[in-house]
């Protein structure tokens, strides 16, 4: 099935069961894929008892996943075209699921839509993952990823930050009491071993330390294999 297709694993290092990291990698990379690309989302296949398979079409790309709450999170609650896949599975295994996704994609590429049916968001599982809280004078931001340099990525986009900042001053508070009160554009905006905050290439707020490891210094545990988006940091506007 689809023997000439290139397969790219972009989420191999996603921590187990982490829907927040899956969404971050997807949103950060989707625009770099050409029109007609297909994405297979296989995170936490057994997170729910529901074995419904889903298909979405957005930004001229095909997205396949299981009904475990991740699909709607990929699009940050923006409207998207959603379908269920009406194909029985002999076994609910990664191999069988991927084979069904590939078969459905082949049919769609041949303009055969007989195996999909449109559904609404009310008919699927909704994610229980924690989200950043946007209040009038603060944002309680969720940590969604810690990279191999131990930089901390928060679930706050540049657009959301600007919208809530409204030209006010701000401070990003760390669990240990440290603060950041301005945004930088590059690491050498600060001295070596000093902390900084900037919007990364994916458009999310990132916390780092010049030539050092932010996560370790501020009490986060990036190497815990069960790490998920349970850590928070507060951004206060004044």
pLDDT digits (tens, 9 = 90+) for 175-220: 778 899 999 998 889 999 899 999 998 889 999 999 888 877 776 6
pLDDT digits (tens, 9 = 90+) for 68-110: 888 888 887 676 889 999 999 989 999 999 999 999 999 999 9
* 216 touches 146 (CB < 8 A): no
Match 């919007």 to its residue by tokens.
199
Sheet strands (E) in 42-163? 53-58, 61-66, 81-85, 116-118, 133-134, 138-146, 152-157
Match 């689809």 to its residue by tokens.
2
* 65 touches 54 (CB < 8 A): yes
At residue 204, the pLDDT reads: 92
Cα torsion 198, 155, 163, 59: sign = positive
Q: How far is CA 70 from the centre of its chain?
A: 9
Which residues are CB-neighbours of 224 under 8 A, at least 6 positions away? Answer: none
Domain residue spans in the chain?
19-123, 133-237
**What phi, psi does 95 have (nearest 5°)?**
-65, -45
* pTM as predicted: 0.71
Class of domain 133-237: mainly beta
Instruction: Provide mean pLDDT across the span 22-35.
Output: 85
Class of domain 19-123: alpha beta
Check residues 171 and 44 and name the one with the higher pLDDT: 171
């Amino acid at each position: 099935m689809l023997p000439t297709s290139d397969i790219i694993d972009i989420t191999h290092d996603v921590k187990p069961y982490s829907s927040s990291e899956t969404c971050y990698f997807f949103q950060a990379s989707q625009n770099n894929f050409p029109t007609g690309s297909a994405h297979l989302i296989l995170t936490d296949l057994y997170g729910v008892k529901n074995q419904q398979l889903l298909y979405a079409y957005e930004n001229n790309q095909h997205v396949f996943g299981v009904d475990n709450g991740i699909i709607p999170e990929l699009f940050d609650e923006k409207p998207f075209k959603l379908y269920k896949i009406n194909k029985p599975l002999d076994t609910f295994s990664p191999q069988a699921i991927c084979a069904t996704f590939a078969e459905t994609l082949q049919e769609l590429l041949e303009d055969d839509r007989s195996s999909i049916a449109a559904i609404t968001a009310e008919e699927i599982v909704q994610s229980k993952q924690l989200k950043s809280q946007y209040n009038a004078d603060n944002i309680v931001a969720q940590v969604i990823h810690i990279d191999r340099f131990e930089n901390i990525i928060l679930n706050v986009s540049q657009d959301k930050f600007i919208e809530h900042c409204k030209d006010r001053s701000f401070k990003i508070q760390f669990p240990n009491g440290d603060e950041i009160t301005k945004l930088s554009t590059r690491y050498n905006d600060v001295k070596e071993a000093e902390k900084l905050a900037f919007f990364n290439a994916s458009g999310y707020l990132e916390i780092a330390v010049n030539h050092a490891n932010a996560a370790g210094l501020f009490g986060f545990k990036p190497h815990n294999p069960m790490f998920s988006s349970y850590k928070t940091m507060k951004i206060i506007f004044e």
